[in-house]
Structure 1
Amino acid sequence: MNTPLSANVQKLRKFLEGRTGKAIMDYNMIEDGDTILVCCSGGKDSYTLLAMLMALQQRAPVKFRLIAMNLDQKQPGFPEDVLPRYFESLGIEYRIVEADTYSIVKDKIPEGKTTCSLCSRLRRGIIYRTAKELGANKIALGHHRDDMVHTLFLNMLFGGKMKAMPPKLVTDDKAHIVIRPLAYCSEADIAKFARAMEFPIIPCNLCGSQENLQRQKVKEMMHEWDRRYPGRTESVFTAIQNIVPSHLGDNDLFDFRGLTLDTPVEEGDIAFDAEELPISGTIPITHTA
């Protein structure tokens, strides 16, 4: 995009850079000497992620290397020239990896069934291998705050676990650290920024829209909650950062079996009081025989 940014877009960009920088600082995502593989799918989130990291790289107190990566999954009609041309216009180091995961997914998954799980596993393995080949110790993904909240509800409602997407994690093989610098950014702000920047968006047509996906249903649920009660997604994300183990039910996180009157418990039973209804005066108590 060569035209000057409007004042509103500059303000939005500054806001997103600030939120990204805060997430990076809060979770110590980037350190001096890191080589970060930035996964770019061609969607609004990954374009924004790359823009934020490149901007922060210019003024960060630490030095780190960025390598943009795209996985060409050989989807029919995939515009192979778009991302290389975009990366070259930015002057960033990049790697295009070609792997026909499309055929594998279509062969393994029956028609009408969701493909996301297998597709994600295949992509993940290729990304990890590429990071190792390029000497990258960090892998940056474009998941944002809404993704994390939706994942929490997916795991609660369909998996029986209170588990979300962490801002930072170690890969199963202990070879890399995965970071999500957009953890504090909302999807709405990212979408608005992507439109203003006129990123060359490449839609994922591997699986079609698949509107019956569980994630899509959760997304619709949260959108409805936010419409009726603004700020619900932000509130749930804040809750992810403020866990009170003594008021859940996991024996591995809190020793309920060993609970005694002397056990220190955060908040105690006042956690269930309605703070907006303070108790005043006396409460009459009637004894019956």
Structure 2
Amino acid sequence: MQELLPKARKEFNKLQKRLRRETGQAIADFNMIQDGDKVMVCLSGGKDSYTLLHILMGLQKSAPVHFDLVAVNLDQKQPGFPEHVLPNYLEQLGVPYYILEKDTYSIVKEKIPEGKTTCGLCSRLRRGTLYGFAEEIGATKIALGHHRDDLLETLFLNLFFGGSLKAMPPKLLSDDLKNILIRPLAYCRERDIAEFATLMEFPIIPCNLCGSQENLQRQVIKEMLQDWEKRFPGRIETMFNALQNVAPSQLADTRIFDFAGLEAQREKALSNRINLLDALVTEA
């Protein structure tokens, strides 16, 4: 990490404390990590996963419960991928780690036509490999580096393009019921993470497979949210609060609210009110 002047050092400490506080709060709010957990931290080489590992290692020392950390990177055999970077970094850090090798790059390039978005297939292949490996090493939790902005971007992606009202949950049980995913950075802002990663001088590895696809729908959503935040400061915070303040009765999904039973609910309430009045009259 670079040497900082006293004022810059003070600001860095504030930033690190904020990230630790928000991460700790998310872990507590969603009961993400319990005593005895073995947490597999998925390390991609990007700013988010580096920050996640760093913050979790700090919290590990002061947490009221004991948990183990293991870092796992999936080498997808992208051309030019600097294979030495992560092992060297993790060796210096002293954290247990695994580097998995699976040529998902060739599969994606074979299946997806040139110019089309590769993220969907790439993420499915990556997810399947990591889920299976978590079982192999006995990991009880899989930690991902998604942050608050990712959650909101996913909400609008699903709203605009998927016709559904859902985001990324901070904690999730996989469809096969075998793995629990956690997103400890769910309360953290991307700009804070980016600043922290720069100051920490993490050895960032760019994604050459999909990172250069500027026409991705997610990038469009990101730019929209950034524009809103510039023009209407505080809007992002308000929208994120909405994810924790859901009113099913004010939406239109019959699977999560019993609209058909409202009449019966009204009759029951009226009956209870009449019974209460009768009881009061009798007592009088």
Identity, in percent, stands at 65
Which amino acid counterpart does residue 46 of structure 2 have in structure 1? Answer: G
Report the counterpart of residue 268 of structure 1 in structure 2: none
TM-score (norm 1): 0.89
Q: Residues 231-252 of structure 1: CA distance to partner in whole angstroms, max 9, x if unpaired?
A: 2221111101100111111111
Asked if residue 47 in structure 1 is aligned to residue 22 in structure 2, the reply is: no
Give the RMSD, CA atoms, in angstroms. Answer: 1.6
Instruction: State the SS of the aligned residue for 2:11.
Output: helix
Structure with greater helix percent: 2
Report the counterpart of residue 170 of structure 2 in structure 1: 167
Aligned partners of 2:143 and 2:9: how far apart in 1?
28
Residue 263 of structure 1, CA deviation: 7.7
- Conservation of the 8 A alpha-carbon contact between 1:137 and 1:175: no
Of the candidates 3, 11, 14, which is equivalent to residue 11 of structure 1?
14
Of the candidates 238, 241, 246, which is equivalent to residue 243 of structure 1?
246
Q: Residues 124-145 of structure 1: CA distance to partner in whole angstroms, max 9, x if unpaired?
A: 0010111111110100000000
Residue 96 of structure 1, CA deviation: 0.3
Pair 71,150 (structure 1): closer, same or farther in 2 beyond 3 Å = same
Of the candidates 131, 141, 146, which is equivalent to residue 144 of structure 2?
141
Asked if residue 98 in structure 1 is aligned to residue 101 in structure 2, the reply is: yes
Instruction: State the SS of the aligned residue for 1:85.
Output: helix
Report the counterpart of residue 212 of structure 2 in structure 1: 209
- Conservation of the 8 A alpha-carbon contact between 2:117 and 2:216: yes
Report the counterpart of residue 124 of structure 1 in structure 2: 127
Of the candidates 16, 26, 29, which is equivalent to residue 23 of structure 1?
26
Aligned partners of 1:172 and 1:40: how far apart in 2?
22
Instruction: State the SS of the aligned residue for 1:259.
Output: helix
Aligned partners of 1:181 and 1:208: how far apart in 2?
23
Which amino acid counterpart does residue 192 of structure 1 have in structure 2? Answer: E
TM-score (norm 2): 0.90
Gaps of 5+ in 1: 266-289
Pair 170,263 (structure 1): closer, same or farther in 2 beyond 3 Å = farther
Aligned partners of 2:108 and 2:240: how far apart in 1?
33
Q: How many residues align?
A: 265
Asked if residue 77 in structure 1 is aligned to residue 88 in structure 2, the reply is: no
Of the candidates 84, 106, 111, which is equivalent to residue 108 of structure 1?
111
